[in-house]
Structure formats: structure tokens, C-alpha cells
Amino acid sequence: MSDFSLYSDKKTTTHIKSWLSEMKSVRRLAANSIDAYQRDIAQFIAFIAKHYQARVDLKILQDLKPTDFRSFLAYRRNQNVSSRSLARTLSALKSFFIYLERQNIIKNESLSIVRSPKIGKSLPKALSVDEAKNTIALIDELEESPWVSARDIAVLSLCYGAGLRISEALALSKSDIEANAMRIIGKGNKMRLVPLMQPIEKAIKSYLKLCPFPLNAKEPMFKGVKGGVLSARLIQRRVVQLRSALGLPPSATPHALRHSFATHLLSKGGDLRTIQELLGHASLSTTQIYTKVDSEQLLESYQKAHPRG
């Protein structure tokens, strides 16, 4: 449910829409993030409306107590919502109430004392070098269309060989590719340069040569079978097919190839700062998780190989 207007009055609905619009145009949040925020606020408004047996207006929002917010989070927890999702929901609510205060609409400081749920750091599930290579190589055997095969090989090569997010790979245009580097637009519209390795360049050139559709230099170059922009869902389905054929776990996803890129680069002596820049992480602490991944994989290999492991 995302129609908050069912449970809020006209003025409150208008402010929610304005806040979401600001998140999109000023904060430049991704469409998926905007959708998630909209669902979060709609669920909150519906809960408060039921709690107060009335359409939610600005007076109700202004008078909410910490117990009201905690009751909502407890309600969502009872629906088996994860701590990560609850933390995002709380972040969305805080953002909305900060917006209301900044616009001199209402002020409610109750949220400032509501603690975010603790989120355990989950380690990225990286593939081994052979698993990553085999995943990409197997495409040729499973796909009958040469150009579709070349396309999917190029996309997954960008995820594994350059550490790109699937969205970044699919947004790539011919004009983004230079002699030895690629211009990548990441989260928050931040641009970074990523080296264009020879195997990736070869895969891209193979796709461009076989692609049956005209390609505008400044538009996304990866096409679907009808000539539209390639959907991430199709690449995800391809990886499901590949991991099934190779007997890989469900954690083998396009994003796992990006994790594998970072983990394998670190194991070969790559430094964290360089990996941070290549991945487009805003904070080094986000990249540091790969040191733990690499250490755990090293320990696992040691225990398997050591005579007394």
C-alpha cells in the first residue's frame, strides 16, 4: 500500500508529495529509494490513522510522542520486517519531519530520541575466481543468439571486471568509453573513472559489432531484443539460469560479481583507497568490509588445506 492520501487530509497529503518531490529533485535519490520512502510513509500514515481513528492531519503529526513511533516500528517488526528495512523506515520518517520543520510547518522532536534498530553487518558473498569466470563463460553455451550472448557477456564482465553495479553497467553509453577508461555515474550522480581492462574492452567491442540496433552515442548502449533499453531484470534472470547450471548458491547474483571484483582485487594486494574509488563508495568504512571477507576466505582455505584443519 502506498496511497497515503486515503488516510491523511488534503494539506498533509500535499506536504508529503512535496517532500517526496524534493527527495527526487534535490537529493537525487534513485527511483527505487523514492518508492521505498513512499511505501514507508504510507504505512506510517495508515497506522497512525487507525491508532487515532481519524484522518491524519498536521496537528496529529505535531503531537505524536516517542511511544507512537516506537509502536509503529514494533507493529512493523511483528510483520517480520528486517532491521535494515526498519532502519530505512525510521530514516524516511526523520527526513519527512525534518522537512516539515525546515518549511516552518510543524515541529516535533520526538523522533530524535527514537533509536534506530541495530543492523548486523552481513558479509558480501563473493564467488571464487573460477566461479566468476565460469559464470560469464557459460553464457555462450546457453544462449543461441550470438548478439544476445555477446551483450550478456559484456554486461557481466563490467560487473566482475570493473566492479560496476548492474545499474551502472546498463546506463553505460558509447560516449562514456574512452581509450583506457570509462566514465561511470554512480549513486548520487557522482562521476568516477574506472580503468577499461582489455578483456572488458574486447567484450564490449564484440557486442557493439553484433548488436542489430542503431546505437546513439549518448544513450545506454545495451539493448533488449526489441531494441529498448536492457532491463536489469533480464540480466538477473540470466544469472539465475547460469547459477542453476553451475550449481551455485542463490547468493550468486550480478551484485555478487561486484563483490567478487573487490575481494579478488584485495587478495592480490590492492589497497583499500584504490578499491574505494573504483567501487564508488562514499566512505572507506563501506570498503573495509572486504578485508573481513578476504580474511575469512583465507582462514577457510587454510582450514581445508592444513593437515590438522
Tell me whether residue 42 is in a domain.
yes
User: Measured between alpha carbons, how far is 76 from 71 in angstroms, rounded to an integer?
Assistant: 9
Last residue of a domain, one of 89, 113, 137: 113
3-state helix, strand, coil in the chain (%, to 5): 65, 5, 30
| Spatial distance between the Cα atoms of 119 and 193, rounded to a whole number of angstroms | 32
Q: What is the CATH number of the domain that holds 46?
A: 1.10.150.130
Angstrom CA distances, 155 to 1, 110, 111, 190, 257, stand at 34, 47, 43, 21, 11
Grid cell listed for 309: 584443519
Q: Rounded to the nearest 10 degrees, how much is the dihedral formed by the CA atoms of 250, 255, 260, 266?
A: -140
Q: How far apart are CA 239 and CA 241, in angstroms?
A: 5
E strand or H helix at 193: strand 191-195
Catalytic residue (one of 165, 223, 243, 259): 165
Q: What CATH number does the domain containing 200 carry?
A: 1.10.443.10
Q: Are residues 91 and 209 in the same domain?
A: no
Same domain, 87 and 198: no
257 and 134 within one domain: yes
Domain presence at residue 248: yes
As a whole number of Å, the end-to-end CA separation of the chain is 52
The grid cell for 118 is 541495530
Choosing from 7, 160, 207, 290, which is the catalytic residue?
290
CB contact at 8 A, 278 and 184: no
Position 24 scores a pLDDT of 84
What is the extent of the structural domain holding 36? Answer: 4-113
Domain boundary (113, 138, 161) is at: 113
Total domains in the chain come to 2
Residue with cell 497529503: 13
CB atoms within 10 A of CB 119: 13
184 and 147 within one domain: yes
240 and 250 Cβ atoms separated by less than 8 Å: no
Residues 56 and 199 in one domain: no
pLDDT in the model for residue 8: 85
Bridge pairing between strands 191-195 and 181-185: antiparallel
Question: Is 119 part of any domain?
Answer: no
Look at the alpha carbons of 3, 53, 22, 114 in this order and tell me if their dihedral is positive or negative: negative
DSSP bridge pairs for 229: 223
Catalytic residue among 77, 174, 187, 192: 187
- Is-catalytic flag, 308? no
60 occurs within a structural domain: yes
Q: Which of 281, 292, 304, 308 is catalytic?
A: 281
On whether residue 120 sits in a domain, the answer given is no
Residue 281 bears catalytic tag: yes
Active site residue 165: yes
Write out the chain's pLDDT in tens, 309 residues: 457 778 889 999 999 999 999 888 877 777 788 888 899 999 999 999 998 999 999 999 999 999 999 999 999 989 888 888 888 889 899 999 999 999 999 999 888 888 887 766 555 577 888 998 999 999 999 899 999 999 999 999 999 988 898 999 999 999 999 888 888 888 777 888 888 889 999 999 999 999 999 999 999 999 999 999 999 999 999 999 999 999 988 888 888 888 888 877 776 776 667 777 777 666 656 555 666 555 555 445 445 544 444
**Catalytic entry in 15, 76, 151, 258:** 258
**How high is the pLDDT of residue 303?**
52
* Gap between the Cα atoms of 122 and 85, Å rounded: 14
pLDDT at 119: 67
Q: What is the pTM of this model?
A: 0.58
Maximum alpha-carbon separation in the chain: 72
User: Is 306 a catalytic site residue?
Assistant: no
Q: Which of 77, 183, 192, 255 is catalytic?
A: 255
C-alpha span between 210 and 143 (Å, rounded) = 14
Tell me, what's the pLDDT at 98?
A: 92
Q: Is residue 124 part of a domain?
A: no
97 and 38 assigned to the same domain:
yes
Same domain, 85 and 165: no
